[in-house]
A and B are shown apart, each in its own frame.
Chain A
Amino acid sequence: MTDLADFTIGDAAAGLKGLEFSATELLEAVLKRASVSEAHLHAYLTLDRDGAFEAARRSDDSRSNGETPGPLDGIPIAVKDNMCTRGVETTCGSKILSGYLPPYDATTVRRLRGAGAVVLGKTNLDEFAMGSSTENSAFGPTRNPWDTDRVPGGSSGGSAAVVAVGSALGAFGSDTGGSIRQPAALCGVVGMKPTYGVVSRYGLIAFASSLDQIGPFGRTVADVATLLGAVAGFDINDATSYRGSPPDFAGSLESGVDGMRVGVVSELMGEGISSDVVAATRAMVDALEGAGASVVEISLPSIEYALSAYYLIAPAECSANLARFDGVRYGLRVDGATSDEMMSRTRAEGFGPEVIRRILLGTYALSAGYYDAFYGQAQRVRTLVTREFASAYEQVDVLVSPTSPTAAFAVGEKTTDPMDMYYSDVCTIPSNLTGHPAISLPVALDGGGLPIGFQVMAPALAEETLFRVAAEVERLAGFVQRPALATSEVVV
């Protein structure tokens, strides 16, 4: 019999509905998978076994009472440890929040629970979501399921890794500069960043508020559309929440790309992108053309400035957001004779090097005399990038590119020079600056057997188009490979 931990969300929901197995049995299979894979990956920071079994039991009870379950009822889902879970430790991968028990659920978590999902644990991340490798976690790095000498990407590396091996059937992460899409690419799963505002950020511990967006990970495009549908929609607790009805996510998955116009971003197909990645991207573009899409090259010259603008905007907003960690209301406190001394010592002790680096950078960029030259200029560049994308979307329905310049890199390879790591996000950052939706899905393995991600980008609120093209990419790629660690047999 097939191991339940290898089911997609769609298949598991059908099995639960048909009473072929129970939510409790499904949870047991997934926890068994976790007990094997975690020894190699360290993708979870917290497993909430008791809470998960209780939710699974409730799901089974409602089914045995004849209620019709929704698409996520009884499905084990993991969430990144920067989303608040009431009474369940939430650390952001930081020593400064070690032991923190939030007094409320993030809206995403609340909606998942409301949909009957089994929230089974909190996944590892780069501290405060700052990083591209999940090496910056104060609680130790997560490893890539395809090769444990390599990183899973980041900052949502834990969420990508658990979906890749089946220690959750789906997961949520957050994406500020690529933190969902890049780890999805490096772990060979589907990861999606919705339009800014489509998913509430209430209860997401803020990094850079104008860029942060919560989004789903799954093994298929359809699963990701289902996950997004369960959490999207206006929330009065998030002042930046989109007030309109959420776009239709799964309505056009079967429609194909015949007659659609696809733009290939020239700047992301050359220098700095590995040849294997360019070749795989090119092959998929050709396949889309074969499936009836018309393909044009699109040049977006301002992309060259997007990375610089991002590394001013994100640290500036982070330095303001992380001011709340001052040893007063929650988390770590290191004593001092005055409040000022207590705060300065607490923050030095509680934050890791990358977080300190970005707070300092943001503080500098916002300080008197530099504000307009740095933050102001970066915000104007953001306008130019957005205008360039808008004019591209007058010619094409979607833009495509690689997700990451390379497949998974080695642990420790990019930790010496911060700029090396920052470059990992060159393909993903523009969508955060524009606030547009984007998705990454695996299309091939490289020469070393590591997955390569393909990115599809669409205009604001055009999620339906995005998923439509992504579903065709998925069919054309026929990517079915799984990492060796996707097993419940003990791996030696």
Chain B
Amino acid sequence: MVMPVEIDIARVARLARIALSEEELVNYGRQLEHIVEYAEQVQALPTDGVPPTSHALPMTNAFRPDEVTPSLDREEILSQAPDSVDGYFRVPRILEQAVDDEGGDT
């Protein structure tokens, strides 16, 4: 009853922004297929009309008073950044990059 699973692991690694070698891709791909075959057991349970649970206690919106409160100290936060300039985080260039739009979750 277990369906063999085939995962495009290179695509998954790209979506997750993890640079893996060919050998690592093969290993992780095999392990993931094994785990997913096990996890697929959840599909054996009929759940028609059952609502999903995302939280343990029933709660909707969490409101708080709209009041100004002190924020964390900017210098202290930036002191932990790998690179910063003029009060901002600094990163390598992000333009001229192919737009990757295949990662949209449903």
Contacts and interface: CB of A to CB of B under 8 A. Distances in A.
Given A330-B80, A340-B17, A383-B53, A361 B73 contact: no
Interface string B28-57: 100110111011111111010011111111
B81 interface: yes
Contacts of B102: 368
A460 B92 contact: no
A344 B17 CA distance: 4
Contact of B55 (A210, A326, A330, A374): A210
B48 to A, nearest CB: 9
A302 B18 contact: no
Contacts of A340: 17, 94, 97
A321 interface: no
B72 A360 contact: no
B39 A210 contact: no
Q: Would you call the interface of chain B mostly helix, strand, loop, or mixed?
A: loop
Contacts of B56: 195-197, 210, 386, 434-436, 460
B87 interface: no
Interface size class for chain A? 35 or more
Given A311-B38, A351-B18, A330 B81 contact: yes
A359 B18 contact: yes
Which size bracket describes the interface of B in this complex?
A: 35 or more
B4 interface: no
A45 B7 CA distance: 37
Nearest to A87: B76
Nearest to B103: A367
Interface of A: 100-104, 195-197, 210, 236, 239-243, 302, 304-305, 308-309, 311-312, 319, 323, 326-333, 335-345, 347-348, 351, 356-357, 359-361, 363-369, 371-374, 376-384, 386, 418-419, 422, 433-436, 460
Given A361-B32, A371-B106, 20 more contacts: A103-B73, A196-B56, A305-B41, A305-B44, A308-B39, A308-B40, A312-B42, A339-B94, A344-B17, A356-B28, A360-B9, A360-B12, A360-B18, A361-B36, A368-B104, A368-B106, A372-B106, A373-B43, A381-B45, A419-B35
